[in-house]
Amino acid sequence: MTQPLPLYQVDAFATRAFEGNQACIMPLDAFLPDDVMLAIAAENNVAETAYIVRTGEESWNLRWFTPAVEVPLCGHATLAAAHVLFTHEGFAGETIAFDTVKSGRLTVRKLEDGRLEMDFPSGPITEIPVSDDVAEALGARPVQAWGGMFYAAMFETPEAVRALKPNLKALASLGVPGEGWDRGNFGCFAPGGESVDVTSRFFAPGSGIDEDPATGSWHTMLARVMSERFGKQVLSCFQAYPGRGGRIDTHLQGDRVKLSGHSVTTVEGRFFLPM
């Protein structure tokens, strides 16, 4: 016997299919056991599978799983979850509230131009030295680096970022000094780009993802780095994943950051869970 569960696949931070970052969204009556949710995420085999459970008229509990681990924050799957609720699940309110285990309450509202705007925390950052091990694993030496939620590495030009071919196996064991989920998670960026303020890529072998196409959580840190380094509070950003990529707009406000973008549904169906 099988239990059918609703499933949507969404391209987040995208204006059409085949752009942005893929997420699977599964509205549930209650969370499944952790090992089952992880197994489903591995079966879905996209960057994140998000599970949402309604708790009120405008609120849901939200959890995110890569094919390998549960993560404490995921931007693109949050955007995709809100897109599903607004577009497919009949939510007619103005703002959706998601309660999470490690990132507190996250809200998403619909803007007049059709984008969805997320309100996320943006944690502190610290400038750190670039080690020879990191430079060797990335295949190029950053000009400056910061530690925070992830390892942020700045390069001189967008072309240098696009040309990176890191040693992912080596990168997986490296990160910001100390412990945390930041190990094996590297955001690489440069100011400028084609009609944008900053161009970046995000390598996450430490989270089971070689390279992520469009990463909201990374942009919560990138927004703070760009503010402290260049004095820019509002950014148009492009994550230059080869063949896809995604546009993410950010507005840093104190210890919070607004992240906005479009999403597109590509699949609607059922996941048949063995009973």
Catalytic (active-site) positions: 48
* Whole-number Å distance between alpha carbons of 32 and 7: 14
Phi, psi of 217 (to 5 degrees): -60, -40
Chain length of the chain? 275
* Whole-number Å distance between alpha carbons of 102 and 100: 6
Q: For residue 221, give Cα distances in angstroms to 51, 215, 250, 256.
A: 24, 11, 10, 10
By DSSP bridging, strand 144-147 and strand 263-274 are: unpaired
Q: Which residues contact 180 (CB under 8 A, 6 or more apart)?
A: none
